[in-house]
A = this chain, B = another copy of it.
Amino acid sequence: MHQNKSLVILILLLGLLIHKYYCKEQTYIHNQGKPLRFHVAEFNFDHVSDVYAITLWILLGSLAKVGFHLSYRLTEKFPESCLLIMLGLIVGGLLYITHLAEQKAYVLNSDTFFLFLLPPIILEAGYFMPNRPFFDNLGTILLLAIVNTLFNTVCIGLTIYGFARTPIFGNTPFDMLSCFVFAALISAVDPVAVLATFTEIHVNDMLYIVVFGESLLNDAVSVVLYRMFDSFAKIGQENLILMDYVLGALSFFVVSLGGVLIGIIFGVVACFTTKFTEHTPVLEPLIILVYAYLAYLTSEMVSVSGILAITFCGMVMKQYVSFNISKKSDATTEYVLKMLSSIMETIIFMFMGLSTVSDHHSWNTGFVLITILSCLVFRVIGIAIFANLANCWRLLELTRIDMLI
């Protein structure tokens, strides 16, 4: 088994070498100028470079996942996400040494993440979400998502602001509003990390629903809080009037309910469309995927919560579409969704390791430690308070809230 794995890694390295060779080759040809004799074959890597790099990443991700699952001892000891991050670190190190890292295709920017990597994962989660338990626990989920996230943001923001007045962070200045902007960014539970962690450790259904539901809904809260504090910081602390706070509170409802509404509208339109596809069954999975993606893009376009939109779109479609489409289309849709979300998750974790190496950070130990500590402390306090308040379940573990920081 181990032999196979090393073989896989060997092939990957070979691929990278060939890749590098072609890069050089192509520069060499460009220097030649006008061809004097007819070439039997020629290299043009520029033509396909971006697509080629992306395809290679997808292949690397799938092969890595296949390789990890071949060795039982490896997957028993470490969770898959850690292994993928480690692989990303190794590849990042290799690229850094070989100076290929400057090429643009090798970094994960936020646009790629939000436009391509995130939607399939959330759609899959929404599509396979058990609807009954979700609505049964809606009260608890809302309480946790809204009140607890607000509580966390305020507490973490205040803590960082408090420590910023002591010399522990060195001489970096922080003002109050940037503390709150940062707190809003990190106090939300990340749905990707929740899904990855909870699927791996197999928690009970109810706990999964509650925490995952919370992580979905507090996307809206954190989007609003972030935009609110960011906008406040731009307007300036001294120019704020009461009206701004009212508008901020109002915009929370717009963002969350708008996202839900857009999701439901696209879901219903998708159901309506699939009523007429009996003659073209082969297009049905595509139509479902395209509508869900449009729901997400539309929400992002009007700045309401795209995560909520695509979740609710998936939930509505799952409920009604499967009666309209052929059995084969249904099976294909589910399989494709699982496939896409699986590979996107793999790529996200791999790139997380990769960008740790290739990005330029200014490291501030005190700041990072205080942040992680205050996240953990206030998360525990918040959960303890609100879990007792909701008073309806036995146990709630900490999620990796600091996964994406």
Contacts and interface: CB of A to CB of B under 8 A. Distances in A.
Interface of A: 4, 8, 11, 22, 34-45, 47-48, 51-52, 55-56, 58-59, 62-63, 65-67, 69-70, 111, 115, 228, 231-232, 234-235, 243-244, 247-248, 250-251, 254-255, 258, 269, 273, 276-277, 279-280, 282-283, 285-287, 290-291, 293-294, 297, 300-304, 328-329, 331-332, 335-336, 338-339, 342-343
A181 B47 CA distance: 22
Contacts of A115: 48, 51
Given A277-B66, A335-B332, A40 B282 contact: no
Most chain B CB within a 10 A radius of its CB, from A8, A277, A291: A277
Contacts of A38: 228, 231-232, 235, 244, 247-248, 251
A244 B342 CA distance: 51
A302 B251 CA distance: 54
Q: Please tell me how many copies of the chain the complex holds.
A: 2
B244 A297 contact: no
B247 A40 contact: yes
Contacts of A235: 35-38
B300 A35 contact: no
Contacts of A302: 41-43
Given A40-B251, A55-B297, A254-B41, A283 B331 contact: no
Q: Which DSSP category, helix, strand, loop or mixed, fits chain A's interface?
A: helix
A170 B67 CA distance: 66
A297 B40 contact: no
A332 B343 contact: no
Nearest to A60: B290
A184 to B, nearest CB: 14
A244 B37 contact: yes
B66 A273 contact: yes
A254 B39 CA distance: 11
A258 B41 contact: yes
Most chain B CB within a 10 A radius of its CB, from A59, A111, A302, A335: A335
Given A38-B248, A41-B251, A42-B302, 10 more contacts: A38-B228, A38-B235, A40-B254, A41-B258, A41-B302, A44-B301, A55-B294, A66-B279, A280-B342, A332-B336
Contacts of A22: 301
B339 A297 contact: no
Nearest to A26: B301
Given A55-B290, A303-B42, A339-B286, A279 B70 contact: yes
A286 B332 contact: no
B231 A303 contact: no
A290 B62 contact: yes
16 contacts: A22-B301, A37-B243, A37-B244, A38-B231, A38-B251, A42-B303, A47-B300, A52-B294, A55-B290, A58-B286, A66-B277, A66-B280, A66-B287, A69-B280, A283-B339, A328-B331
Given A38-B244, A41-B303, A55-B290, A342 B66 contact: no
Given A38-B232, A70-B276, A59 B301 contact: no
Nearest to A343: B286
A297 B41 contact: no
Given A66-B277, A69-B279, A304 B41 contact: yes
